[in-house]
Structure 1
Amino acid sequence: MKYSLIKLNDLSDEILIYILKKLENDQVLYSLIGVNKRLNTLIHDRIFTSHLRLMRYISDDSINLLSDTILDRFYSEILPSIDHKIQWLDLESSSMERILSRNYPNLYRLGLYNLEIESAKHLFTNETILNDLFKNDILSLIIHISKNKKQTSTKYDNTIIFTNIFSIFTNLQELKFDSNSIYPRYLSFDISPPIFISSTLLELHVNVTHFYDCIYLLDGRFNQLRLLHVNTFSIERSSVRTVNNSEKLPNLKCFSLHCEIDTVYYDQLILPLLHRMLNLEKLHLCLKIYGRNTFIDGNNLKINIKNYMRQLNQFTFNIRSTIRLDNKINLLSNEDIQHTFNHFQNNKIISSVDYFSEMERGQCHIYSYPYQLKYYHQITNNFPGGIFKYVREISLFDERSFEHKFFFQISQSFPFMKKLTLINEKPQNDKRYRIFDDDNQHLSIIEYPHLSHLNLDEAHDDYVEQFLLDTKTSLPNSLYLSVDYQVLKRVTQHFTRNTTRINSIKLRSLGLIGKCKIPKYVKEYFPRTKIL
């Protein structure tokens, strides 16, 4: 700043605060505390002290830890001057015990990240520091348990931790139990379910093994619950026990149900649960449904869901329903399905209908737009387009060929895509590369700037060529490719083809299906690649 025309102190308080709010609070405090009296006053404001995250970032289930030097300074110099102002702390496991040894009189929200399963089991007992210091104070708790391949755990370990939380935090109002993890921890209450209850809990985010575990949580033990976000591994009938799925839930205002596994029990299990929620105001459903004679469309959602919820003002969904064709004659078009949503005044609904004659199957995908999920699966040639900035993982499937224009559209619609899986055995109709398509639209070389995982195990040779030819696609560095060995051998012309060499060199690792011993010439063609 010695030779700067505009010094930091020349800026107004409002501008300084606006700039500093762009940084993480821990960065602001560590960098500026003690610099001068004016900055000291500014950064001691609750804007920078009420919420403190002592870890660098959380992304894709990974956490960057702060260095020992930074943590030492926080513990010895910074925390003593702001501990009475901290209301929300986010910590990772290695620094947790030391940081929590201080007194935080106004702390009411606590996030604990990167916990190993054994340490988590020990932590949530009646003899730990959590019970001593925060038993009655913590109103909101976030738990993130790390994925450690060296440690074995069972679904009952997660249940033990979950139930012990309510004996420690007696005034808890909000609990997020490993709900946003890429490798979620599932709870199960199928055998000798534990006894736990909370009359204060208002909001719960949780993963459960079975749909009946969700119903179990709604049996009255959380009688003040207002919001429930549940991700269930499967939705099926239970052979272990019977639970009550008929008693009304008048206090529940918001409900979200997410399941990635196909279910046939939409009418038998899901609808009866929803019919219990008389006063629901917000509803989100993410489901895959099969075994019905008709698609789930707007009429079905109106008759079976909306008509039962007179207070419902926000209804979002992502539902894929599948039917068998069985020589059906009157097949609904995409326009027919779209027409059934005319009465959904407050939502933009997208529908996509496909019929697969070889598989004798039809599918209908309906969802609220803008799309909020991190994945979008089974994309076909009927993909309606749009921009999906949250999606990181996609899969492509069709019985019709994917042409170059289709891949260009995919790259534009999913700008932050990291993982792509392609399943298509049909050869491309037009294998020539064209800069312009029939509509005179410019189709430059396709780029996937964030792609890190490409699965072509069940793809025709033409699609392996589509991605490896540098005249069609520019792949990013550090890509993992999974592909059938014989297909790769043909596409690369026995690992001699120059036009596939540039993209091949960019591969970080290569998974070869159907090949155990890797010949020397293959390793020479992929000189910087780890071959699996």
Structure 2
Amino acid sequence: MYTLNNNDINILDLPDEILLRILNKLHTIEMLYSLVNVNQRFDRLVLDRFYIHHLDLTIKPLLYHNSSVNNQKIFDGICTQVLPRIHHKINKFTIEPLSMKYILDTIDYSQLNSLSLVNFQSETLLQHLTGDTILLRLLNNQITHLTIDITDKISEIPDGNQLNMFALILSINKCLIDLTFTQRTKISFSNLPSTTCVSSTLTKSNITVNTFDDCLYLLDGCLQHLSILIIHIIEISDSSLNIDNTKNLPKLKCLSLTSYWYTYFYNNRIVPLLRRIGFQGGMFNKVRWLVMLDIRPFENELFQVISHSFPLLQRLSITNLQSQKNKQNSSTFITFAHLFELDLKRTHIDYVVQFLFDKNTSLPRLTQLTIRYEPLATVTQGFTNDAAHLTCAKIKRLVIQEPFVRPEKFLSYFSSL
């Protein structure tokens, strides 16, 4: 049972260091049940404080022995043989509904401060958040780091209004510092009173919401000590709601904002928010690599904003097959002072002109260019014109994926290759 495959070495003969590495890879409720009480050495290693500070008490559904009868046996063994010996050492639990009733309702966990509740339905979780329950007492008094994963639709409370579980958690927990909240039906705050989601302790939150208004709602004084916000927004659109997007947010030091839908409202919705947290005009001083993709053309004015907002940008990749509309009317000269890598292989020829012609854009440190051969040859007029020669002469690595025959003047045009 405890022999390594293809070897005659018994696992009990392995040094502690190697055995601990194996245990770290197999640290599950099933492993605890199997290895505790095997011998004194296993007990010492498996139940060590540094090893059991985080227990994942979820049953893995693909295990061959998974059944309701066997699960009952495993949890009974854990509750009677393991938890009484280690409850005072545990700092973090990962729990699912199946293990909740066995684990939290049996023993006191004085050092528990982090909790992950996964694969819960809202009705089931709501039952544990109402009445006199162990979970409710833990959230009230101990838990500072909380992760919640709700897999179904938002529950309805008796008066017919939708229950916002995120708001409920904040109202219950008075010492919460870090909250990650995932719900398959995305959260909306637009119909809630402004005092609903309030916390004086929360400093970090990771959440998915419906609209940009929901993001502004959370930043409108409800979470007064929030310093890190990781937010996923389904749709960034215009709004008829009167939500202030001008007040400074001096305590917000980190904002990660993701939306997978196109938006036409970057300038009048996102940029004002960036200014509130200290990005004057949207300054991203730490960004070194930027990927730009859209189905609408990138105009010269946008690249001017990019060069200003990302002053230390080193790598730029552009994906856009649409022709620029106002390329003939712009006289703005743009400089990317630190850019050394440029990827134009999935762009319209207009962007090749935009970046390679030194009358449009200065790329003093550019050394690597990825591009298709046909637009490159067209723009450079068969590697003869002067407009792109200065930029191309600095290229030390040219990536062209399709095969081509080098013209006579190719190497002199790219003289640094």
TM (norm. structure 2) is 0.67
Shift of 1:9: 3.8
Shift of 1:16: 1.7
Are the structure 2 counterparts of residues 96 and 285 from structure 1 closer, same or farther at C-alpha, using a change threshold of 3 Å?
Answer: farther
State the SS of the aligned residue for 1:81: helix
Which structure 2 residues correspond to residues 507-522 of structure 1 after superposition, within 5 A? none
State the SS of the aligned residue for 1:275: helix
Are the structure 2 counterparts of residues 152 and 224 from structure 1 closer, same or farther at C-alpha, using a change threshold of 3 Å?
Answer: closer
Which structure 2 residues correspond to residues 81-96 of structure 1 after superposition, within 5 A? 81-96=85-100
Q: Of 32, 36, 40, which aligns to 1:33?
A: 36
Shift of 1:209: 0.8
Shift of 1:133: 3.7
Q: 2:338: which partner in 1?
A: 343
Shift of 1:232: 0.5
Contact 1:114 1:145 in 2 (8 A): yes
Distance in 2 (alpha carbons) for counterparts of 1:202 and 1:317: 33
Q: 2:347: which partner in 1?
A: 354
Deviation string for 1:428-467 (max 9, x for gaps)? xxxxxxxxx979xxxxxxxxxxxxxxxxxxxxxxxxxxxx
Contact 2:116 2:148 in 1 (8 A): yes
Shift of 1:77: 1.6
Are the structure 2 counterparts of residues 9 and 189 from structure 1 closer, same or farther at C-alpha, using a change threshold of 3 Å?
Answer: closer
Q: 2:13: which partner in 1?
A: 10
Distance in 2 (alpha carbons) for counterparts of 1:140 and 1:317: 37
Q: 1:218: which partner in 2?
A: 219
Q: 2:199: which partner in 1?
A: 198
Residue 45 in 1 paired to residue 38 in 2? no
Distance in 1 (alpha carbons) for counterparts of 2:193 and 2:112: 32
| Number of equivalent positions | 340
Q: Structure 2: which amino acid aligns with 1:268?
A: N
Residue 168 in 1 paired to residue 168 in 2? no
Q: 2:103: which partner in 1?
A: 99
Distance in 2 (alpha carbons) for counterparts of 1:217 and 1:18: 42
Shift of 1:320: 6.7
Shift of 1:206: 0.5
Residue 130 in 1 paired to residue 135 in 2? yes
Distance in 2 (alpha carbons) for counterparts of 1:242 and 1:114: 36
Contact 1:28 1:43 in 2 (8 A): no
Which one has the largest radius of gyration? 2
Contact 2:315 2:339 in 1 (8 A): no
Contact 1:159 1:187 in 2 (8 A): no
State the SS of the aligned residue for 1:343: coil
Question: Higher strand fraction: Structure 1 or Structure 2?
Answer: 1
Q: 2:385: which partner in 1?
A: none
Residue 145 in 1 paired to residue 146 in 2? no
Deviation string for 1:214-255 (max 9, x for gaps)? 01111122121121010111111112x111111111222221
Shift of 1:282: 6.9
Deviation string for 1:116-147 (max 9, x for gaps)? 12223343346543223441100011111114
Question: Higher helix fraction: Structure 1 or Structure 2?
Answer: 2
Q: Structure 2: which amino acid aligns with 1:72?
A: D
Contact 2:317 2:344 in 1 (8 A): no
Residue 114 in 1 paired to residue 115 in 2? no
Q: Structure 2: which amino acid aligns with 1:132?
A: R
5+ residue gaps in structure 1?
308-312, 332-338, 363-382, 386-436, 440-532
Contact 1:121 1:157 in 2 (8 A): no
Are the structure 2 counterparts of residues 211 and 73 from structure 1 closer, same or farther at C-alpha, using a change threshold of 3 Å?
Answer: same
Q: Structure 2: which amino acid aligns with 1:140?
A: H
Contact 2:128 2:136 in 1 (8 A): no
Residue 268 in 1 paired to residue 268 in 2? yes
**RCO greater where, 1 or 2, for CA within 8 Å and sep 6 or more?**
2
Q: Structure 2: which amino acid aligns with 1:243?
A: I
Shift of 1:349: 7.2
Distance in 1 (alpha carbons) for counterparts of 2:86 and 2:76: 15
5+ residue gaps in structure 2?
352-369, 373-401, 405-417
Are the structure 2 counterparts of residues 255 and 158 from structure 1 closer, same or farther at C-alpha, using a change threshold of 3 Å?
Answer: farther
Contact 2:186 2:209 in 1 (8 A): yes
Are the structure 2 counterparts of residues 340 and 140 from structure 1 closer, same or farther at C-alpha, using a change threshold of 3 Å?
Answer: farther
TM (norm. structure 1) is 0.54
Shift of 1:99: 1.4
Distance in 2 (alpha carbons) for counterparts of 1:52 and 1:119: 22
Contact 2:93 2:114 in 1 (8 A): yes
Contact 1:258 1:285 in 2 (8 A): no
Are the structure 2 counterparts of residues 152 and 217 from structure 1 closer, same or farther at C-alpha, using a change threshold of 3 Å?
Answer: closer
Percent identity between the two aligned chains: 31
